[in-house]
């Protein structure tokens, strides 16, 4: 009997200590939207919570119209001033001669590419509007499309077909400075670099 008591006692001694299973602490409720990265859009008019993430509106560009093709065009024709259309019209434009200095006109007459002319050509609204003709893709002989970006006039005639966001979105802004719309879509892109050789001159309110 004593023997059995002793056995029971030793079994008790080797029993595992009872472990109290703790409940995991309850997690704070986190809304998924708080974990999603902020939208890369700079458009302050559209709240991040309603804007679908990474919605792209890129269009399918025609073959030969990639960004590399554009760089090639700039390097081969842009540097010679050949990406600016409609310059010959300026030679018959009285307003153009009225608002520009002799130094500028001399360089223009010597066919210096507009992006290299100092001081730059002055272009007012009247002249700009005469160079906003877009009859369709491929109509390079007829199209002549200039626009105002942040106070500078650029010729987009050749660039439009290379624009990954499409042509209509730019044409819609015909009468405006397109810089705010540009910044809403892609503030990080340097249009000054992309369109460097397409610069016509400075926009002036005269």
Is 182 a binder of ligand HEM (CB under 6 A)?
yes
CB within 8 Å of 79: residues ≥ 6 apart: 113, 197
Is 133 a binder of ligand HEM (CB under 6 A)?
no
Residue 179 beta carbon to ligand HEM: minimum distance, rounded to whole angstroms? 8
Nearer to ligand HEM, 93 or 186 (CB): 186
Question: Vertex 153, ends 144 and 86: CA angle to 5°?
Answer: 25
Q: How many residues bind ligand HEM (CB under 6 A)?
A: 19
The interface region with ligand HEM, picked from 15-23, 71-79, 114-122, 164-172 by CB under 6 A, is 164-172
The answer to whether the CB of 126 falls within 8 A of the CB of 27 is no
Is 194 a binder of ligand HEM (CB under 6 A)?
yes
* CA 169 from centroid of its chain's CA atoms: 12
Nearer to ligand HEM, 115 or 191 (CB): 191
Is 155 a binder of ligand HEM (CB under 6 A)?
no
d(CA 104, CA 100) in angstroms, rounded, equals 6
Strand partners, 204: 124
Nearer to ligand HEM, 95 or 196 (CB): 196
The answer to whether the CB of 201 falls within 8 A of the CB of 120 is yes
- 14 to each of 7, 8, 113, how far by Cα in Å? 11, 10, 96
Is 174 a binder of ligand HEM (CB under 6 A)?
no
Enter the tokens of residue 128.
């700009």
Q: Identify the residue among 99, 169, 171, 204 touching ligand HEM (CB under 6 A).
A: 169
* Near ligand HEM in 10-69, by CB under 6 A: 56-58
d(CA 98, CA 121) in angstroms, rounded, equals 12
Is 90 a binder of ligand HEM (CB under 6 A)?
no
Is 195 a binder of ligand HEM (CB under 6 A)?
yes
The answer to whether the CB of 155 falls within 8 A of the CB of 130 is no
Nearer to ligand HEM, 113 or 165 (CB): 165
Applying CB under 6 A, the residues found at the interface with ligand HEM are: 56-58, 156, 163-165, 169-170, 173, 178, 181-182, 185-186, 189, 191, 194-195
């Amino acid at each position: 009997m004593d023997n059995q008591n002793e056995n029971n006692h030793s079994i008790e001694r080797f029993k595992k200590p009872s472990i109290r299973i703790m409940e995991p602490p309850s997690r704070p409720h986190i809304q998924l939207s708080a974990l999603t990265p902020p939208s890369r859009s700079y458009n302050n008019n559209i709240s991040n919570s309603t804007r679908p993430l990474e919605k792209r509106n890129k269009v399918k560009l025609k073959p030969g119209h990639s960004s590399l093709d554009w760089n090639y065009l700039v390097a081969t024709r842009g540097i010679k001033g050949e990406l600016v259309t409609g310059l010959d019209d300026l030679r018959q434009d009285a307003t153009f001669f009225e608002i520009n200095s002799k130094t500028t006109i001399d360089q223009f007459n010597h066919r210096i590419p507009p992006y290299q002319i100092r001081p730059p050509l002055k272009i007012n609204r009247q002249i700009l509007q005469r160079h906003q003709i877009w009859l369709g893709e491929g109509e390079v002989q007829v199209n002549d499309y200039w626009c105002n970006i942040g106070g500078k006039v650029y010729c987009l005639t050749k660039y439009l077909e290379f624009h990954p966001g499409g042509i209509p979105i730019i044409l819609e802004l015909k009468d405006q400075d397109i810089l705010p719309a540009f910044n809403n879509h892609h503030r990080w892109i340097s249009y000054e670099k992309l369109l460097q050789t397409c610069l016509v001159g400075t926009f002036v309110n005269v």
